[in-house]
Structure 1
Amino acid sequence: MSLLLVTTALSVVMLLVLSSLTRSEVAGIREWKQANLMAVVALLLFAARGAVPDVLSIELANALYLGTITMICAGFRRFLGLPVPWRLLAGGALGALSGVVFFHYMVESAALRIVSVSIFHGVVCAAIGIAVRRPAEPRLRYPFAFTRCAALVLALGHAWRAGFYIVDAYQPYSLLEASFYNLVFFAVGTLALPALTLGAVMMANARLIAASAHAADHDHLTGAASRRAFFAFAERELARAERRGSGLGLLLVDADHFKRINDTFGHGVGDLVLRDLVERTQQVIRKIDYCARLGGEEFAVLLPDADSRTVLAVAQPLRAALERAPQVAPGAGRVAYTVSIGVAMLEPGENVAGLMARADAALYAAKAGGRNRVEVADAPEKPGAPPPDGLSGSPGARA
């Protein structure tokens, strides 16, 4: 009785926790809430065995509890983006409930009623464990692993429970008897829902955190990395390049006459041009390269493990690819645009700010030289040396 009441309290707590996630738009929350609501009613009916008619404490209670594992499974399937096999789940639940009814009214056997219910619960738990696979996102791995292990352990527990009771199917048995084995198997049956719900909450919370981190690290318009994420990545790559003695290149890419595009076609088309720029850039650069939007129409591409030849082999094709006029919007026609690119290679002892400053100067030179071109930055100035010709202008004069 104490275990029933504790489990009921846990289900109420899980219901309140899930209610706090209702507005998060995480798929599966609704089904998990419904499962815990049904569990609260079912557990109270189980606890009332002997005080209420058997049809309530046996048939209705078991029907509701079969519904809980059904809805839990449906919630996980929706969360994972998988189709919910409603007919299969409903058929299995009805089959298990039919066993409960048969072994209550036709052939009295409380043990076989447990077997009927345990088989369905075990199969569904196994299905959940199989469906919850290892995710690619590191933030999701622990909650997914916890849920998968919990589901598979519960499946084994239900199989053991069914096997145990089928051996002594016709021995007298009471739901609330105080024997050790009954307590263990009762815990397997009643604590399954809180354990799976805990896994569901952990998975939902991890996905929300991952989504928030992704939003913070990516530009919402183009999908490129954000300025903050770029500088964090650049610092890590700089440290790695210094440790390994490898090359590190930087491209600063700026759309030419972007204001003219906005004024001529509207800001909606301008946004589509920026998206197109990022999409084409991702197609040209290497998989290990890192593309970010620094602001406005200016983008950066960091190239780890690259020498000057590799960097130019990326920069020149990128400029050529972006020169082609794309069809960016229905009715807008072909909106031609070009980019200017400033290239800089990391020099010994240089920091990210210095690398950015030289690439920015090269970009300014590309703008001043007629746009739609690639300019390579000079090596850092030595102390006391005069600035190189053509690079002393203000970057703010860039069009």
Structure 2
Amino acid sequence: MSLLLVTTALSVVMLLVLTSLADSKVAGVREWGQANAIAVIALLLFATRGVVPDLLSIEVANVLMLLTVSLMYAGFRRHLGLPVPWRLLAAGSLAAFAGVVYFHVVHPALGLRVVAVSVYHAAICFAIHASLPRVADGRLRYPNAFTRTAAFLLGLGHAGRGAFYALDAYGSVSLLAPDVANLVFFAIGTLALPALSLGAVMLANARVLTDTAYAAEHDHLTGAPSRRAFFEIAERELARARRHGGGLGLLLLDADHFKRINDTYGHGVGDEVLRDLVRRAGDVVRKIDYFARLGGEEFGVLLPDANHQTAQAVAERLRAALDRSQPQRSAEGGVPYTVSIGLAMLDRGEDFAGLMRRADAALYAAKDAGRNQVVCAPTATPVEQQQPGGAKVIRLRR
């Protein structure tokens, strides 16, 4: 009775916690909340055994608990973006419930009744364990590890519980007998839901934190990293470049005549241009480079461990990939656009603000020179170089 009441209280607490996460739009929270709400009713019916009719404290209570564990499994599947095998769950729970009814009404055998329920609970716990992936790092690592381990151990516990009561199916089995085995197996049966619910809450909370961090670090329109995230990475790369003496380049690029695109085609088309720009840029920059949207139609590319030649090659490759004005590319659809790029390499003793200023000046120089060009940061006398494809790369020497 104490275990039942404690478990009921824990289910109420988990229900309240999950209810507080209902507005988070985390998949699975609804099913987990429903499972705990149903469990409260089932546990109270179990606790009233001998007071209310057996139909309520046995058949109804057991069918509610079978529904509870099915909903818990469905919640984990939905949380992971996996399909829920509703037909399989319905068939398994109906088979277990049929066993409860048969071994209570038709052929009374308490041990086999426990076996019927334990087999289904064990299968659900093992299925939850199998569904959850291994996560090596990040916020989801510990919640996943906890839930996987708890589900596996609970599956073993339910399997052992079923085997224990199967050995004495027709003997003097009593779930309320004051012995160690009954206490252990009764605890496994009653505390399984709170343990799985705790894992569910941990997973939901980790997902909320992950989604919040992603929203803060990424632009909602294009999915590119945000200005804030860009500057955080830039400070780390700047410190690393100073420690190890490596090169650090910065590209600032701007969609040419973007206001004209918005005015001519509408802001929806302008948004699609920005998304297209981000998609194409992601295919061009190196894996170690960091590309971000800094605001409006301006983007930045951080080039760690790059010398001047490497940075210039990346810049020209990026400019060419984003030159959507060529006639041969009209078949691809979309609005034609080009970009201008300013390139600056980190000077000794320079801070990131200074690097940004020089790259920004180079970007304006590229626009003043006719756009769809790369300008390498800023010097007194420009020297023009003709590049393949007709675009100019202007190198400004000190």
The TM-score with structure 2 as length reference comes to 0.91
Q: 1:95 & 1:317 partners in 2: Cα distance?
A: 63
What residue is the counterpart of 2:344 in the other structure?
344
Q: 2:236 & 2:306 partners in 1: Cα distance?
A: 15
What residue is the counterpart of 1:388 in the other structure?
380
Larger mean Cα displacement after TM superposition, 88-97 or 98-107: 98-107
Are 1:9 and 2:9 an aligned pair? yes
Misfit runs of 4+, over 3 Å? 387-390
Larger mean Cα displacement after TM superposition, 135-144 or 89-98: 135-144
Residue type at the aligned position of 2:206: A
Q: Per the alignment, in what secondary structure is the counterpart of residue 344 of structure 1?
A: strand
What residue is the counterpart of 2:35 in the other structure?
35
Q: 1:388 & 1:49 partners in 2: Cα distance?
A: 92
What residue is the counterpart of 1:51 in the other structure?
51
Q: 1:370 & 1:65 partners in 2: Cα distance?
A: 72
The verdict on how the C-alpha distance between 1:224 and 1:326 changes in structure 2, with shifts beyond 3 A counting, is farther
What residue is the counterpart of 2:253 in the other structure?
253
Q: 2:90 & 2:72 partners in 1: Cα distance?
A: 13
What residue is the counterpart of 1:130 in the other structure?
130
**Count of residues in Structure 1 that have an aligned counterpart in Structure 2:** 377
The verdict on how the C-alpha distance between 1:326 and 1:208 changes in structure 2, with shifts beyond 3 A counting, is farther
Q: Per the alignment, in what secondary structure is the counterpart of residue 139 of structure 1?
A: coil
What residue is the counterpart of 1:275 in the other structure?
275
What residue is the counterpart of 1:165 in the other structure?
165
Q: Per the alignment, in what secondary structure is the counterpart of residue 293 of structure 2?
A: strand
What residue is the counterpart of 2:394 in the other structure?
none
What residue is the counterpart of 2:295 in the other structure?
295
Q: 2:128 & 2:319 partners in 1: Cα distance?
A: 49
Q: Per the alignment, in what secondary structure is the counterpart of residue 27 of structure 2?
A: coil
Conserved 8 A contact 1:154-1:188: yes
Q: 2:375 & 2:291 partners in 1: Cα distance?
A: 19
> CA offset at residue 108 of structure 1?
2.1
Structure 2: which 5+ residue stretches go unaligned? 328-332, 383-398
The verdict on how the C-alpha distance between 1:137 and 1:295 changes in structure 2, with shifts beyond 3 A counting, is farther
Q: Per the alignment, in what secondary structure is the counterpart of residue 138 of structure 1?
A: coil
Residue type at the aligned position of 1:228: R
Deviation string 1:207-248 (CA, Å, 9 cap, x unpaired) is 111111111101111111111100001111112222333222
Residue type at the aligned position of 1:388: A
Q: 1:137 & 1:373 partners in 2: Cα distance?
A: 41
What residue is the counterpart of 1:381 in the other structure?
none
Q: 1:60 & 1:194 partners in 2: Cα distance?
A: 20
Conserved 8 A contact 1:326-1:334: no
What residue is the counterpart of 1:71 in the other structure?
71
Q: 1:112 & 1:229 partners in 2: Cα distance?
A: 59
> CA offset at residue 177 of structure 1?
2.5
What residue is the counterpart of 1:154 in the other structure?
154
Structure 1: which 5+ residue stretches go unaligned? 328-332, 379-386, 391-399
Q: Per the alignment, in what secondary structure is the counterpart of residue 292 of structure 1?
A: strand
Deviation string 1:249-278 (CA, Å, 9 cap, x unpaired) is 111001112112122222221111111111
Deviation string 1:81-107 (CA, Å, 9 cap, x unpaired) is 111111111111111111112221233
Conserved 8 A contact 2:118-2:162: yes
Q: 1:121 & 1:153 partners in 2: Cα distance?
A: 12
Q: Per the alignment, in what secondary structure is the counterpart of residue 222 of structure 1?
A: coil
Q: How does 1:302-321 map to 2 (within 5 A)?
A: 302-321=302-321
Larger mean Cα displacement after TM superposition, 167-176 or 155-164: 167-176
> CA offset at residue 121 of structure 1?
0.4
Residue type at the aligned position of 1:356: M
> CA offset at residue 389 of structure 1?
5.3
What residue is the counterpart of 1:97 in the other structure?
97
The verdict on how the C-alpha distance between 1:239 and 1:267 changes in structure 2, with shifts beyond 3 A counting, is same
Q: 1:61 & 1:129 partners in 2: Cα distance?
A: 25
> CA offset at residue 346 of structure 1?
1.7
What residue is the counterpart of 1:222 in the other structure?
222
Q: How does 1:182-193 map to 2 (within 5 A)?
A: 182-193=182-193
RMSD across aligned C-alpha pairs, in angstroms? 1.7
Are 1:243 and 2:235 an aligned pair? no
Deviation string 1:128-167 (CA, Å, 9 cap, x unpaired) is 0110112477111111111111111101111111121112
Conserved 8 A contact 2:135-2:145: no
Q: 1:159 & 1:317 partners in 2: Cα distance?
A: 61
Conserved 8 A contact 2:35-2:71: yes
Q: Per the alignment, in what secondary structure is the counterpart of residue 187 of structure 2?
A: helix
The verdict on how the C-alpha distance between 1:326 and 1:69 changes in structure 2, with shifts beyond 3 A counting, is farther
Q: 1:352 & 1:138 partners in 2: Cα distance?
A: 29
Q: Per the alignment, in what secondary structure is the counterpart of residue 293 of structure 1?
A: strand
Q: 2:240 & 2:171 partners in 1: Cα distance?
A: 70
Q: 1:200 & 1:75 partners in 2: Cα distance?
A: 8
> CA offset at residue 174 of structure 1?
2.4
Q: Per the alignment, in what secondary structure is the counterpart of residue 191 of structure 1?
A: helix
Residue type at the aligned position of 1:320: A
Q: Per the alignment, in what secondary structure is the counterpart of residue 139 of structure 2?
A: helix
Q: Per the alignment, in what secondary structure is the counterpart of residue 122 of structure 2?
A: helix
Percent of aligned pairs with the same amino acid: 67
The TM-score with structure 1 as length reference comes to 0.91
Q: Per the alignment, in what secondary structure is the counterpart of residue 46 of structure 1?
A: helix
> CA offset at residue 287 of structure 1?
1.8
